[in-house]
Structure 1
């Protein structure tokens, strides 16, 4: 019984090679006397993070590596890691050393119960905002952004959690397996995904810790990550009505109309170019804008890279959208004739059919081939 695996520590990584050995050493020190394993889930880091973890794993059987090829995203990485262990409890901790690994034994004890009434818990959250917790050396701008994100998350949460944005927590593995089919795997806040996916509120407790400063590597926080957070909130609030990827694709399409009109106005009215020439250039500009923005946001997890993939993807996207435009016009014209001049409704149906066509085929043939 003493050799039974108790805890799996899942560590999602991207370009964290410099921190791998230090984190393993810290886990070894913090979890003395516990039977644990660490699972590095690496998104094919170009700096060799997966290789660094494998080198340690050759000597230490507690260290495992999942190297994901062609897949990106912190939440989906965490899901893969959490479902890949036989341990009854799984913890998620960042690979940048900013979370306090010394909290892990207390998290494990609370979820195991150890003879106390706390055995009914589902989740133990490392919190920066309960009494005793601290955000460390965050500047006022980051504190304000975190406070806004926390406020927004309460719109979808089924629990009064002080730090719903925490990426440091432990959870019973059977709960993860039960919820896995309903997880969106969008963005970088997997705990928020877990809490909102559960049909009944998960029982939790928060433990305070002080958020550390990064000493090696670069922060992954950027504007796209912030956008992914908003996308994840949308998915939980409205995704069952309009799928989030289709909503993003359509929103970018609307922005593309704006780009089209700006370019056409500049060429036709501003520079005196012919209308047909202006239309051609404006169409190409809008199509190119839509392609690259969809590649960066809508299909970030399938993002095309390198000039060959991008060129091939742009051509296929252009062909698909051209056929979609023909379908749009054809269906709108047909309905206009059938409905005796109901032009607005006919046009809207045509736009919807064209949007669905473009989305369905580009998902398969532009971003679904690599």
Structure 2
């Protein structure tokens, strides 16, 4: 089997026959391609009856009905397990994803691209099928995902439900999504090096009702939190901040001991307390935040770099505080802004310099390419 088209469905009885017809029409240009259509259905209306009738008369259509289960993303994961194709393409049952793009997606996968994503935000694409409020919700979800997860940042439409991939991308991946955004699970946990985005226009729904709800939005945020907690490179910044906060406590405790226990002078006590806090931060960051599983730089190289970056961070905090003071902000607010700026500086520099070998090993190089709508549809019509 060359291609498996996986379609999660929930109460889409009026859209089932049209989407199957349009898939067959689109795939007609690829005459030698063996493909199957898998509907993973959670419906409670007459959708299952329509699917059963189609499966009985069309050998390419297969149906897996789940009783008592809901969730678009988990339905797609079930589809991955059932599908026999070398390549997978996932799309919604509501006809907002145009089947006419299937040949272009297939050809890209056949040429070796790991993941193909039709995008509303590549030149020539459009999200016109969404109303103003849904556009705002979609934009917010997309931006939050890109901020939280580094593998999403170069993908223009990371929350899309329309994508294709090589079977090997998800082979062995522990996919355990919540809610409806399966693509971000694949992008974070999948095994891939290349992503290609194709511009397309997201269409308005002709039949059926949208499944979007506040519950699904809540599931999306839960999903992001889970993915961040499971991804070492994405949880790293939060660990860095927590350890930085612990350094403040260490600093204050050591300062108090030196001042009131050993009656040391203020300046010397402050310097020593800061050095102890820096050493504490370095040890915890080396053992937890950037925990190395292999050979890397030794501590006598990393520690001086860490201290130098920390000292620059202190300078940045002071400069930002004074700048804020000049424009009329009170010192505590300016100091807070300075700490925020210096924290980002320190994290980025330690990531890229102090523990660079770990970051490079974990992230690898992902290549993202794009093509416009006109190019994509030309390819789709010509089958190349």
Class of the TM-score when normalised by the shorter of the 2 chains: 0.5 to 0.7
The 1-side partners of 2:133 and 2:192 are apart by 32
Q: Could you tell me how far 1:140 is from its partner in structure 2?
A: 2.5
Check conservation: 1:8, 1:91, Cα contact below 8 A.
yes
Which residue does 2:70 correspond to in 1? 72
Check conservation: 2:96, 2:129, Cα contact below 8 A.
no
The 1-side partners of 2:150 and 2:93 are apart by 26
The 1-side partners of 2:67 and 2:158 are apart by 30
Give me the TM-score of the superposition, normalised by structure 1: 0.59
Aligned CA RMSD, in angstroms, stands at: 1.6
Q: 1:238 aligns with which of 222, 229, 238?
A: 229
Which residue does 2:41 correspond to in 1? 42
Q: Could you tell me how far 1:178 is from its partner in structure 2?
A: 2.4
Whether 1:218 and 2:218 are equivalent positions in the alignment is no
Whether 1:205 and 2:196 are equivalent positions in the alignment is yes
Q: Could you tell me how far 1:237 is from its partner in structure 2?
A: 1.2
Which residue does 1:54 correspond to in 2? 52
Give unpaired runs (5+ residues) of structure 1. Answer: 114-118, 242-370
Q: 1:156 aligns with which of 142, 149, 152?
A: 149
Post-superposition CA distance 1:85-129 (Å, at most 9, x none): 21100100100000011111111111111xxxxx2x210001001
Which residue does 1:286 correspond to in 2? none
Post-superposition CA distance 1:150-191 (Å, at most 9, x none): 111112141410000110000111222221xx2122110111
Q: Could you tell me how far 1:48 is from its partner in structure 2?
A: 2.2
Q: Could you tell me how far 1:54 is from its partner in structure 2?
A: 1.4
User: How many residues matched?
Assistant: 227
Instruction: Report matched runs for 1:235-314 at 5 Å.
Output: 235-238=226-229
Change (3 A) 1:110 1:201: closer
Q: Could you tell me how far 1:137 is from its partner in structure 2?
A: 4.0
Secondary structure, in 3 states, of the residue corresponding to 2:125? coil
Which residue does 1:84 correspond to in 2? 82
Change (3 A) 1:70 1:139: closer
Bigger Rg, which one: 2
Whether 1:173 and 2:167 are equivalent positions in the alignment is yes
Q: Could you tell me how far 1:239 is from its partner in structure 2?
A: 5.2
Q: Could you tell me how far 1:197 is from its partner in structure 2?
A: 1.2
Change (3 A) 1:239 1:47: same
Check conservation: 2:129, 2:205, Cα contact below 8 A.
no
Which residue does 2:322 correspond to in 1? none
Check conservation: 2:115, 2:192, Cα contact below 8 A.
no
- Runs of at least 4 residues off by over 4 Å: none
The 1-side partners of 2:178 and 2:139 are apart by 21
Q: 1:183 aligns with which of 162, 171, 175?
A: 175
The 2-side partners of 1:187 and 1:16 are apart by 18
The 2-side partners of 1:82 and 1:38 are apart by 12
The 1-side partners of 2:176 and 2:51 are apart by 28
Q: Could you tell me how far 1:201 is from its partner in structure 2?
A: 5.4
